[in-house]
Amino acid sequence: MTTQPASPPPAHPPESGGGRARKRAETRLRLIRAAFELLGRPEGRHTQIEDVIRHTGVARGTFYNYFDSRDDLLDVMAYELNHGMDAAVARAPDPATRTCWALRLYIRKAQRDPQWGWAMVNVGAAGQQVFGHDSFRNATETLQEGIASGLLRIASLQAALDLVTGTGLQAIHSVCRGQAGPTHAEDVTQAVLLGLGLHRSRVRRLLDSPLPSLPIGTNLVGENGGDRSP
């Protein structure tokens, strides 16, 4: 999680070119926020382009001025749902701490914000890459670093990726379905870190470490709707 993402542009790019550019930025943001509202429901995995068009009242041609396809929209949604995470965990000193922080932050975020949680589950289920291309790439690099250094002791990189991303997404799903208790973030993270080969005493220290703030999803819920708490 140390690589700078080469990702889709933010939902609300800087204003340029006068009123026309502002209008385009506002329309694109409106489409993204509508997609978030639809995807952020238990049944949101079924969301189609036609649903977003109906929800916003824009013409079909207007939608395609901004997104090439449903997959393109889901890629942008994955970026918007996740892009605050990499900056939050980049301050961690090593791969084990980055993994610990990421899992705890994601699960706690879902506990506070079920709409975001359902959107994460539904984009993960319907999209091309769990957690989006950038976050998945950064997770890959983090786990590669941990395995190469001997800090993480697990059979293969793919096994580590499946353990971290698969368990993380399922944990968010359990939270959204009301099946998880208040310590679910720490319980799941402990199980994953032990599975990665960390010693139990180190896992305990990691779980006791303070979390950074998490500025995630700020473009999806209005000017003051972003979540910055751990």
Distance CA 226, CA 190 (A): 27
pLDDT of residue 5: 41
pLDDT of residue 88: 84
Cα(140)–Cα(142) distance, rounded to whole angstroms?
5
Give me the pLDDT at residue 2, please: 40
Q: Give the Cβ contact number of residue 225 at 10 Å.
A: 12
Q: Residue 101's closest CA among 185, 199, 166?
A: 185
Residues 6+ away with beta carbon under 8 Å from 38: 44, 47, 51, 52, 55
Cα(166)–Cα(140) distance, integer angstroms: 13
pLDDT for residue 160: 97
Separation CA 214–CA 112 (nearest Å)? 12
- DSSP, collapsed to helix, strand or coil, labels residue 186 as helix
| pLDDT recorded at residue 83 | 82
**What DSSP string runs through 75-136?**
HHHHHHHHHHHHHHHTT-SSHHHHHHHHHHHHHHHHHH-HHHHHHHHHHHHHSSSTT-HHHH
pLDDT (0 to 100) of residue 225: 45
Q: Check residue 132 and give its pLDDT.
A: 82
Phi, psi for 134 (deg, rounded to 5): -65, -50
Ordered structural domains, the chain, with CATH: 19-69 (1.10.10), 73-208 (1.10.357.10)
Among residues 160, 168, 166, the alpha carbon closest in space to that of 144 is found at: 160
Residue 74 tokens, joined: 């889901």
* Spans in the chain with pLDDT lower than 50: 1-7, 12, 14-16, 223-225
b/e map of 68-82 (b: 16 or more CB within 10 Å)? eebeebbbbbbbbbb
